[in-house]
Homo-oligomer: A and B are copies of this chain.
Amino acid sequence: MKRRELISLIEKKKSFLCVGLDSDINKIPSHLLSEEDPVFEFNKAIIDSTLPFCVAYKPNLAFYESRGIKGLVSLKKTMDYLAQFKAECFTIADAKRGDIGNTSEQYAKAFLDPKGDFNFDSMTIAPYMGEDSVKPFTIYEDKWVILLALTSNKGANDFQFIEDKEGNPLFEKVLTKSQEWGNKENLMFVCGATQASMFTRIRELAPESFLLVPGVGAQGGSLEEVSKYGMTKDCGLLVNSSRAIIFADKTKDFAKVAGKEAKKVQEEMAAYMNLYMK
C-alpha cells in the first residue's frame, strides 16, 4: 500500500486504529476450540466485526509461531482472508526481525513477497544490527519497514535512552540514522504510547514519518496525548490496540463486543483527528 492510499483510508474511515491480532489460543472464547482452526475462526470473526472501524491489522507472529506449524497455517489463512480487503486495511507482520544482509533478504521474502505465503504490507524490524540488516526490507514496492525506535515496555529504559557524548539518546540516533536508509514512503517507526511525553521530540526528528504506536489500552498509554503530540497534517499515526479489543468478551458475542470496542476507539480517534490533524 502506498503512503497516499494509507492516508486516504485513514481519512475515509476517520480512524487510525490498528487491531493487534495477538490471537492467543488460550485466551480466545472456548466455544471456538471445537472448530478445525480455532485461531483462524477467531481472527475471521474479529476482522468481520472491526473492519469498518480500523485501518490496519497486526498479527503478532509470536502467538502463531508458539503453536508451531499449525500456528503458521492459521496465520496464512488469516492473510488469505484479509487479501480480499487489500484496499481497506494495511497489514503489519509484527515480527521484530533483523539480521545480516543475506538473511534479512530472506525474512523480507518470507513476509513481504507478493508471491509468498503471507504478503504483508509491512513488518516490524529491530535496529540493533544497523543498515544492512534493515535495507533489504525496503526493496519490495509499496511495502514498509516499521523500525523499532522507542518501545512501550519497561525494558525500553535499559538501552534506548543511553545518551552519546552529545547527549543524544540511542532511540533518537535510530530515528535519524535510519532515515538515510528509507524515507516517509517506506519507513515507519514504532514509538510506544507509554512514552507520550517524548512525541514532541520524535516529531522534531521524524516530522512526517508514520508512527506505529503500541501501548494504548492494556499497557496504559493515553490516546489523547499520543494524538496531541504525535499527529501530523496527514495523521501520521497508527495506534495499535490488541487485548482491549480482541479479548473484550469471551462469550459467543465476542466479535460483536470487539466491534463495539473498536467503534468506541474509532469515535475517539475521529474527535482527535478533528482537533489535532493540522
Contact = CB atoms under 8 A, between A and B. Distances in A.
Interface of A: 22, 24, 60, 62-63, 65-69, 71-73, 76, 94, 96-101, 103-107, 109-111, 113, 116-118, 126-134, 148, 151-160, 162-165, 170, 173-174, 177, 214, 219
A64 B128 CA distance: 22
Pairs of residues from A and B, 8 with the lowest C-beta to C-beta distance, nearest first: A130-B155, A68-B117, A130-B158, A62-B106, A65-B110, A66-B106, A100-B153, A66-B109
When all copies of this chain in the complex are counted, the total is 2
Nearest to A24: B106
A162 B166 CA distance: 11
Contact of A163 (B69, B165, B174): B165
A160 B128 contact: yes
Contacts of A103: 22, 60, 62-63
A107 B153 contact: no
A214 to B, nearest CB: 8
Nearest to A97: B96
Contacts of A158: 127, 130-131, 177
Contact of A116 (B66, B101, B154): B66
B62 A68 contact: no
A180 to B, nearest CB: 10
A68 B130 contact: no
Contacts of A152: 100
Contacts of A133: 153, 155
Contacts of A113: 66
Given A68-B116, A69-B73, A132-B155, 4 more contacts: A68-B117, A129-B148, A159-B174, A162-B170
Contact of A156 (B72, B130, B154, B160): B130
Nearest to A156: B130
B155 A129 contact: yes
A245 to B, nearest CB: 16
